[in-house]
Amino acid sequence: MEDVVVLDQVSKTYRDFKLDRVSFTIKKGYIHGFIGRNGAGKTTTIKLMMNLIHRDEGSIRIFGLDNREHERKIKQRLGFVYADNHFYDDLTGEQMKRVIARFYPDWDEKAYNRYLKMFDLPANKKIKHLSRGMQMKYSIALALSHNADLIIMDEPTSGLDPVVRQEILELLSEVIQEGEKTVFFSTHITSDLEQIADFITFIHDGRIQFSLTKDEVLERYTMIKGGTDLLDQDNRKLFIGLRETPYGFEGLTTEPKLVYQLFQDQVLYEKPSLEQIMLYTVKSDKNSTR
Ligand SMILES: Nc1ncnc2c1ncn2[C@@H]1O[C@H](COP(=O)(O)OP(=O)(O)OP(=O)(O)O)[C@@H](O)[C@H]1O
């Protein structure tokens, strides 16, 4: 598998936050999701990749090139979609397109018109008069129309209704079908990733918790449910995170075989959702830093 992006030990310190030695790779031809809570460091990481802010340490290579030394060359092959509308509000879609198209020798007018139609986007309406969903679709259409090999998006589906979100997810799946293009996007919406992501990187408090294929993530963790009377000081250590109620406990583990040796059929073994994995991993982190 070819690496499109390689982050190696990338750090950035703000007054109250440190992005701490972040390393992961993005593989060509796949959809790669980037999850984490508010303030975990997703936007900071993306800004570093886009060379919008300067890293303190580490290296970032995109298409095999250093992202600072070869910024222009890289950006010709890259489509970047922001969470908020960064277009000139008073321009119409058509006027905006003319501004953007000039920057890209590979601009594909036919593709642009096809995406406008596919997304049902009016070309002659002022951008400020488009809904949020439409603005997002418009940004994606622009990114795709200059034939970008890599699309990077910061929270593309947040604040959108389920129908528009689904349309965008389907489009992204279509984009990678031929194996030439790569999509990387950050989100809080784990169900979007369950649906379409091939790879998932999870960041918490400025540190990467894991960067794996979706199948590896789902195989790694097991959710155990049973009565709280089964728990003692020792076997609690088998769980990454535990939630106890008067009716029983629910715990996430990466050691289902050890749990089975102890509890066998006294507990239930279930596949966790990505959301549960995120919640329980974060919880355990809180406990360990107390
Ligand atoms: N320019 C800055 N100066 C100081 N602190 C900053 C700056 N930019 C971001 N931060 C801090 O860095 C932390 C990480 O922010 P970041 O925007 O990367 O998180 P995020 O994971 O994208 O969150 P969200 O999901 O809410 O967008 C936050 O605590 C934020 O306050």
Each residue of 40-50: pLDDT tens digit?
999 999 999 99
Question: Does residue 167 share a domain with residue 265?
Answer: no
Question: Does residue 66 share a domain with residue 161?
Answer: yes
Please report the ipTM that was assigned to this predicted complex.
Answer: 0.96
Q: What is the pLDDT of residues 117-171, one digit of tens each?
A: 988 888 888 888 888 888 888 888 888 898 889 999 998 887 788 888 888 888 8
Q: Which atom of ligand 1 is nearest to the CA of 203?
A: 21
> What pLDDT is recorded for position 186?
94
Contact 55, 48 (CB under 8 A): yes
- The CATH number given to whatever domain includes residue 228 is 3.30.70
Question: Does residue 70 share a domain with residue 38?
Answer: yes
Q: What is the pLDDT of residues 59-92, one digit of tens each?
A: 999 999 999 999 999 998 999 887 665 667 788 8
Residue 233 φ/ψ, nearest 5 degrees: -60, -40
> What pLDDT is recorded for position 93?
83
Give which of 65, 75, 63, 97 is closest to 182, Cα–Cα. 63
pTM of structure: 0.89
Q: Rounded to the nearest 10 degrees, what angle do helices 93-101 and 109-119 cross at?
A: 150
Question: Does residue 245 share a domain with residue 109?
Answer: no
Cα 119 to ligand 1 centre (Å): 31
- State which residues form the domain around 185: 1-76+148-213
Question: Does residue 117 share a domain with residue 24?
Answer: no
Q: Which atom of ligand 1 is nearest to the CA of 45?
A: 18
Phi-psi region of 64 (alpha: psi -120 to 50; beta: other; left: phi over 0): left
Cα 161 to ligand 1 centre (Å): 25
